[in-house]
Structure 1
Amino acid sequence: MAGAVFALHLLMLSGLVSSELIQNGGFENNGMDHWGHCWGFSCEVIPADDSRFGSHSLKATGRTHSYQGPSQLVNVAPGKIYKAQSWVKILKDKPGTIGQTMMLEVSFEFPDGQHSYFNVALQPLLTAGDGWVFLAGEFETPPQNFKSANFYYQGPEPEVDFAVDQASITEVHVSSQWRVQTDANINKYRKSDLKITVSPASGIDRSKVQIRILQKTKAFPFGTCVNSWKYIDPSQTKYQDFIHKHFNWAVLENALKWGQLERNQGQLNYDRALKTVNGLRDHGLKVRGHNMVWSVDQYVQSWMKSMTGDTLRNTVRQHIQWTLNMTRGLLEHWDVNNENLHGQWFQNQLHDRDFDLELFRMMYQADPYPKLFLNEYSVVGSGAATTAYREQGMRFKNASVHLYGMGVQSHFGRGVEPNPSLIKQRLDTLAEVGVPLWTTELDVQNDDENVRADWYEQALRALYGHPAIEGILFWGFWGDIQSAGQRAGLVTGPDLHLTAAGRRVLDLFENQWMTDETHVLSQSGDHFTVRGFHGDYELHVMYLGHQLTNLKKTFTLGKQGNVINVNVHT
């Protein structure tokens, strides 16, 4: 043990591991030292039976407000990134509820008396039967000076008792070498070897033979959400053409959501959605379904709010069957229950915590073809729900409900610079589930289009360079209609003029991440290898400055690589 402590001390001195900022985070031998007064409720240190580690933990009882919880002032510096974590435990369930939400929070007080609040981590639907649960997330301190920073717990409903243990806050040291790592991963996971053997006929001058390897399409899914109203509008050909030219996947922004398909009970309208899906498919794009059910309270139609029991279950089942019958064979994916960590209306209404699992079973039974997804925010763009999302993914995978993948929305808030090191950490956490990850709703927001270009590139390189990411879709690209507005746009104005951000993104997609190489035999030899991006290719042979069209070859380069033989003759 002494050796381990000494080794940890050396790591701290080297800067690889930060010193601990929470004092008495394990509540061992120091009672309530360093923890603030529990105003309006009670806190007490309890013995080993209820501790996660060691011999003690802290118990909060007699709460009358959801925001009440143990707290501690922490000595953090402006403009730094920190990781906060703790184990928590619900001690007694509240009758009539299916679970409680626990959160780690940090609040900042400024010299003028103003406050800002940061949700560091959350976990919904916790019950006493879950025992000790791990919460973790990162937060960035404000760049300006502040008077104090307060770390605290909150979330469970009033009178719900809980215990906490092993609280910790440490500084996160981000890597300055992220670009080296992502470039290496892009080369490893997004490219393969194309081995070419050239056999010139007798008399062919090798110095006059050129072999061009030209990629025509990319295999990796790069896509966007599509505004159906604009897409089916005959006057919006520039919008339609941009989508068809620059993307190979799409997702409908709103037109397939239940509230759009059945705004009033029994009045179904699938026409606009189907016209959009068919138009995209006719131009070679694959389409995701988004979303079958949305459990966040505000997005549940008013005509459904009074339904309970079998009436509600049958209504959901009928919606799933209708929608999958209408879209059969048209969609590759479905987001089944959108943002379920942030809303559980159907589960609460039915008093059934596992109804989210039942939704996946209903989907698969109605149509086994589309791949089924969870879809969530605050898991990459920020990390408040990353750990909870990993646990949810594990739960779905272990339940064998045909979960294919996890959508990571990747919205970066206004003025939030994507941090490639944090993106990697969060994706690493989610990759532990062992299912594919898709970036389903990417956007960054900055009024300066040149800064926006840098931020999009940072986010895209971090995402494309992670082996668990299987596809990347933007949440729109036209600043005039994008939900985040011009500050997120790749193009702007009625003519869809490319911004600096748009030019940068297209350079990545269509130049840097596409393969186009020409080899002269006298320099490369008769046997050479091209490390190419996955996709469809053409091979062209030039001799004496003229293309030998009869020797043109088409082929696909996938993960297993490929071998091409070329016999050059005139």
Structure 2
Amino acid sequence: MKWVQVGLVLSIKIVVVLSTTNLLASRNGDLEADPITFWTPGGSTLASSTVHVHGGSRSAYISGRSQYWEGIEHTFTNDTLDLTMDNIYAFVGFIRLENLAPGQLYEEVEVMMEQKFYNTEVRGYYIISRSTHTPIGTWVEVGGDFKLVDNLERIRIYIQVTSKEVNYYFDTASLVELVPDPNWMANAEANINLYRKANLDVTVLNPENMNLNDYTIELVQDKSEFGHGTAIRTDLWTDPTYSYYPDTVYNILKAEWVTVENGLRWKNMEAVELPHDRPNRNVQMHLGQDDHSRFTGEHFPRVPFADTTGTNPFICNGTRCTSRTEPVQVVRFQKRTPCIQDGGPEILHLSP
């Protein structure tokens, strides 16, 4: 038996049917009313605008924010909108940032929900969605789904932007109920041939007029239309007793990119000293590597420098540095690592 290897790329489409009834259609969900009705400013200044619109001829313009949580909001009660407890709903809208805070390339935008319960002043706050890299000057869809719990008196959905200096436009909001399909498993099984399978025609060039009855065609999927990947642990990746771990990523998962979970973060990798020769902690692979965060939260480096005995030496202009363990500010990465002399504030340039 002879084998012929053929490359294959498959496109898989998943069809999801949602409710099309927009519960905000009668509550100015399209933001076309001037002055704006149903929506409130939430501590900001709210006005109707024709400068930028996502749909229709008007949108909401939000400015004058003094806190990050201030902005456009919509409140729902059982008296104003028939929301059923234990049901699942999806809220979606479109936001366009007018400006950014100084020094920022993007902003974090969150769609929040405040829940007020009967017979108590206790409130619950939940994140419906978070868009961490929202750019300026383009419409971005925000929102997500949530499930209502029992004993709710009202809910308030509002938009918060990390930097209070940011003004923005908001438009085309919708609230729909997501109705679970009790027959989804049976329908998926019945439609598997339609959505997950397809005929594949293979053309074999045979200039030598060989008898092709002796050949078997083997298909190997080299890539997918949507590049998929995973997070990996560097300790398992570099441990020879876990050789099956990278093998699983390469040959079973067939990841097209990876991101290191925590192995390249300062706290886990360089918390005590600053050597650049720890290859056992680096991931050497032929996959594309997603650049993961190296400094998070309060874990900025505190670097022990060489003392007068030469312990842990760092060379500064041909002489040894004095012993220091003060915090440093990391501003960028570069190949060369200069030492820090007395004086401050200090800036340390690091190589990853």
TM-score, normalization: structure 1?
0.37
CA–CA distance in 2 between the matches of 1:223 and 1:186?
Answer: 28
Alignment match, 2:158: 152
CA contact (8 A) 2:110 2:131 kept: yes
SS at match of 2:32: coil
Amino acid at match of 2:85: P
CA contact (8 A) 2:98 2:169 kept: yes
| Shift, 1:169, TM fit | 0.9
Against the structure 1 CA distance between its residues 63 and 187, is the aligned structure 2 distance closer, same or farther, given a 3 Å change threshold? closer
SS at match of 1:179: helix
Alignment match, 1:367: none
Amino acid at match of 1:266: P
Against the structure 1 CA distance between its residues 230 and 42, is the aligned structure 2 distance closer, same or farther, given a 3 Å change threshold? closer
SS at match of 1:271: helix
| Shift, 1:244, TM fit | 10
State yes or no: 1:60 paired with 2:34.
no
Alignment of 1:292-441 (within 5 A): 292-294=291-293, 297-298=296-297, 301-302=300-301, 306-308=329-331, 312-314=332-334
TM-score, normalization: structure 2?
0.57
Alignment match, 1:108: 115
State yes or no: 1:77 paired with 2:84.
yes
SS at match of 2:297: helix
Match among 178, 189, 194 for residue 172 of structure 1: 178
Alignment match, 1:332: none
| Shift, 1:24, TM fit | 1.0
Amino acid at match of 2:296: D
Against the structure 1 CA distance between its residues 253 and 307, is the aligned structure 2 distance closer, same or farther, given a 3 Å change threshold? closer
CA–CA distance in 2 between the matches of 1:230 and 1:100?
Answer: 34
CA–CA distance in 2 between the matches of 1:134 and 1:246?
Answer: 36
Unaligned runs of 5+ in 2: 1-17, 201-221, 303-326, 338-351
CA contact (8 A) 1:256 1:291 kept: no
Alignment match, 1:269: 278
CA contact (8 A) 1:257 1:290 kept: no
Amino acid at match of 2:93: S
CA–CA distance in 1 between the matches of 2:184 and 2:100?
Answer: 45
| Shift, 1:64, TM fit | 0.5
Amino acid at match of 1:117: Y
Amino acid at match of 2:33: N
Residues 212-254 of structure 1 deviation map (CA, whole Å, 9 limit, x = unaligned): xxxxxxx9999995683799598xxxxx699799994598975
Structure having the larger proportion of residues in helix: 1
Match among 107, 110, 117 for residue 125 of structure 2: 117
CA contact (8 A) 1:101 1:155 kept: yes
Amino acid at match of 1:159: E
Against the structure 1 CA distance between its residues 269 and 192, is the aligned structure 2 distance closer, same or farther, given a 3 Å change threshold? farther
Residues 266-319 of structure 1 deviation map (CA, whole Å, 9 limit, x = unaligned): 254233667xx9xxxxxxxx99787643167338652596132xxx1425x99x
Amino acid at match of 2:274: Q
| Shift, 1:172, TM fit | 1.4
Runs of 4+ displaced beyond 6 Å:
190-193, 219-224, 241-247, 250-253, 286-290
CA contact (8 A) 1:64 1:159 kept: yes
Match among 28, 33, 36 for residue 29 of structure 1: 33
CA contact (8 A) 1:262 1:269 kept: no
SS at match of 1:49: coil
| Shift, 1:150, TM fit | 0.6
SS at match of 1:26: coil
State yes or no: 1:88 paired with 2:88.
no
Against the structure 1 CA distance between its residues 295 and 165, is the aligned structure 2 distance closer, same or farther, given a 3 Å change threshold? farther
Amino acid at match of 2:330: M
- The count of residues paired between Structure 1 and Structure 2 equals 258
| Shift, 1:133, TM fit | 2.5
Amino acid at match of 2:99: K
SS at match of 2:185: helix
Name the Cα RMSD after superposition: 4.5
Unaligned runs of 5+ in 1: 1-14, 194-218, 235-239, 278-285, 319-362, 364-570
Percent identity, please: 15
CA contact (8 A) 2:128 2:144 kept: yes
